[in-house]
Amino acid sequence: MNLEADGAVELSWKADNPAGASGTVYEIQRSIAGGPFTLVDVVGERSFTDNTIPAGSSSVVYQITGVRSTTRGESAQFLVNFGTAGMTASAINPGDDTSFHMAG
């Protein structure tokens, strides 16, 4: 996870897709400041840049779900807090093998 100079958040993640899992897409949902999750995008790669975060947002939770055909994987959630010192981020479900890179 990176905070870009223009305020966008760049997400990237690892996923263990089974052999022959072509066609997997990832649903990116976002919750701003504790609000409801809304679908932001569906991507075919393991990265996404969110440049639509409203100015002044204090926190954002991203929920990423892998989908292939009618099969949905378990979601991973990441919390991003914005503040005067930059950005902090943490995995909400640290018990799994989800990892991310954060700089800010």
Q: Please write the tens of the pLDDT for every residue from 59-90.
A: 899 999 989 888 888 888 888 887 756 555 55
pLDDT value for 102 = 45
Give the pLDDT mean for 37-54. Answer: 93
Which are the contacts of 77, defined by CB distance < 8 A and separation ≥ 6?
Answer: 61, 62, 63, 64, 91, 92, 93
Give 79's Cβ-side CA count (13 Å radius).
Answer: 11
Residue 88: phi and psi, rounded to 5, are: -120, 150
Give the pTM.
0.74
List pLDDT tens digits, range 31-43: 998 899 999 999 9
Domains of the chain (ranges; CATH) run 2-13+22-91 (2.60.40.10)
- Confidence at 100, pLDDT banded by 50, 70, 90: very low
